[in-house]
C-alpha cells in the first residue's frame, strides 16, 4: 500500500533528511515511526503527502509513484490520506461540527451526506454533545479527537498521525491511542510518528526506527527502544 524505495531526501540547504530508506507498509497495518527530533520522521511523512519531493528513489502509494502525480492532482492524493498533527490544527472560528464538516465540504460532498455522516464521526470519537462548541472551549484531548474525526470523515484508507499525543497528558494520550487502535482495527492503515516511549511500549505494534535519516530498525511487536540502544539518546 505504501512503499519507500531507496528514498533519499536532500533539502536545498544541503541537509540530508533521509538516506536510502526502504520501507513497505501493507494495507491495514499499524506502524510506529520512532526516532530523535530531526531524525527524518517528519520528512518521511511530508514525502507521503507530496509536500516535498524525493531527491532519489520513489514513494509509491497504492501502486502509484507520488513523484509522478501532477501538482493539480495533489489534493486528490491528500484526500486518500487522513492526517492528524500534534497541535491539532483545528479552525478556531468554526465549531466542532463545522470543523469536521469542513473536510467534507472541501471534497465537495453533498450537504445531505455531510449532515448524515458528521454526527456519526463525532459519536465515534465521543464528542456528540460538544458539536456546537468551539475548539478553544475543549480540552487538548477533545481537540485531538475532533482532529481524528476530521481526518477520518472522508474514510481515507491511510491515516498519518504526527506526534498525536505530543501535547497531551499520559492519561489522555492513552485514550487517543485506543482511538487510533480502534481506527486500525476497522481496516485503516495507520502510520504514527512519535517519540513517546510509553505509548509505543504499551501497544507493541510494528516499530520502524529512523536515525540520522536511515532506517536502523524495523521490528514487529517492537518497543520504543532497541534493547541495546542508549535510552539517553531520545530524551
Partner 1 sequence: MRLRTLRFIFREGFQNFFRNKLMFFASCAIITAALVILGIFLLVIFNIDENVKALGEKPQIQVYCRFDLDDAEVDALEREFLREPGLKEFTRITKEEAYERAKDMLGDTSDLLSGIGPDFLPVSFIIKLDDPGQIDDFVSRAGQMPQIEKISYPKRTIGLITRVSNWAKLFGAVIVAIPMLFAVFIISNTIRLTVFERRGEISIMRYIGATERLIRWPFVIEGAIIGVVGATFAFLVTGFGYKFLENNFNLELAGVTDDLFRLVGVGHVSTLLLVVYLLIGVGVGAVGSVQSTRKYLRV
Q: Which is nearer to partner 1, 102 or 234 (CB)?
A: 102
String of contacts with partner 1 for each residue 37-56, x by CB under 8 A: ------------x-------
Contacts of 21 (CB under 8 A, 6+ apart): 4, 6, 7, 8, 40, 44, 57, 210, 213, 214, 215
Q: Are 156 and 121 in contact (CB under 8 A)?
A: no
* Residue whose C-alpha cell reads 517528519 in the numeric block: 42
> Cα separation of 164 and 161, whole Å?
6
Report in angstroms how near the CB of residue 105 gets to partner 1 at its nearest. Answer: 5
Report in angstroms how near the CB of residue 190 gets to partner 1 at its nearest. Answer: 17
Q: Which residues of 139-167 are buried (b: 16+ CB within 10 A; e: fewer)?
A: ebbbbbbbbbbbbbbbebbbbbbbbbbbb
From candidates 16, 60, 89, 214, binder to partner 1 by CB under 8 A: 89
Phi, psi of 21 (to 5 degrees): -80, 125
Q: Is 167 in the site for partner 1 (CB under 8 A)?
A: no
Which window, 70-78, 116-124, 183-191, 220-228, contacts partner 1 (CB under 8 A)? Answer: 70-78
Q: Is 68 in the site for partner 1 (CB under 8 A)?
A: no
Q: Which is nearer to partner 1, 108 or 230 (CB)?
A: 108
> Cα separation of 45 and 166, whole Å?
16
**Subset of residues 98 to 117 that bind partner 1, contact rule: CB under 8 A:** 102-103, 105-108, 110-111
Q: Is 66 in the site for partner 1 (CB under 8 A)?
A: no
From candidates 8, 69, 78, 157, binder to partner 1 by CB under 8 A: 78
> Cα separation of 156 and 181, whole Å?
15
**Subset of residues 178 to 197 that bind partner 1, contact rule: CB under 8 A:** none
Task: Give residues in contact with partner 1 (CB under 8 A).
Answer: 49, 71-72, 74-79, 83, 89-91, 93, 102-103, 105-108, 110-111, 150-151, 154
Amino acid at each position: 500500500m505504501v512503499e519507500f524505495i531507496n528514498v533519499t531526501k536532500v533539502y536545498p540547504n544541503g541537509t540530508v533528511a533521509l538516506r536510502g530508506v526502504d520501507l513497505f507498509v501493507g494495507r491495514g497495518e499499524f506502524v510506529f515511526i520512532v526516532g530523535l527530533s530531526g531524525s527524518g520522521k517528519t520528512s518521511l511523512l511530508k514525502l507521503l503527502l507530496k509536500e516535498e519531493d524525493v531527491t532519489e528513489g520513489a514513494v509509491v502509494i497504492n501502486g502509484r509513484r507520488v513523484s509522478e502525480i501532477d501538482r493539480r492532482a495533489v489534493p486528490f492524493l491528500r484526500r486518500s490520506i487522513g492526517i492528524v498533527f500534534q497541535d491539532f490544527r483545528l479552525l478556531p472560528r468554526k465549531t466542532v461540527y463545522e470543523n469536521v464538516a469542513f473536510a467534507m465540504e472541501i471534497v465537495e460532498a453533498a450537504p445531505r451526506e455531510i449532515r448524515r455522516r458528521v454526527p456519526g464521526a463525532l459519536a465515534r470519537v465521543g464528542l456528540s454533545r460538544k458539536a456546537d462548541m468551539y475548539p478553544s472551549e475543549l480540552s487538548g484531548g477533545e481537540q485531538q479527537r475532533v482532529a481524528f474525526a476530521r481526518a477520518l470523515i472522508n474514510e481515507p484508507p491511510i491515516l498519518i498521525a504526527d506526534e498525536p499525543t505530543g501535547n497531551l497528558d499520559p492519561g489522555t494520550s492513552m485514550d487517543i491511542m485506543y482511538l487510533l487502535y480502534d481506527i486500525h482495527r476497522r481496516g485503516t492503515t495507520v502510520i504514527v510518528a512519535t517519540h513517546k516511549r510509553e505509548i509505543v511500549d504499551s501497544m507493541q505494534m510494528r516499530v520502524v526506527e529512523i536515525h540520522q535519516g536511515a532506517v536502523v530498525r524495523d521490528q514487529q511487536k517492537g518497543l520504543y527502544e532497541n534493547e541495546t540502544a542508549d535510552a539517553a539518546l531520545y530524551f
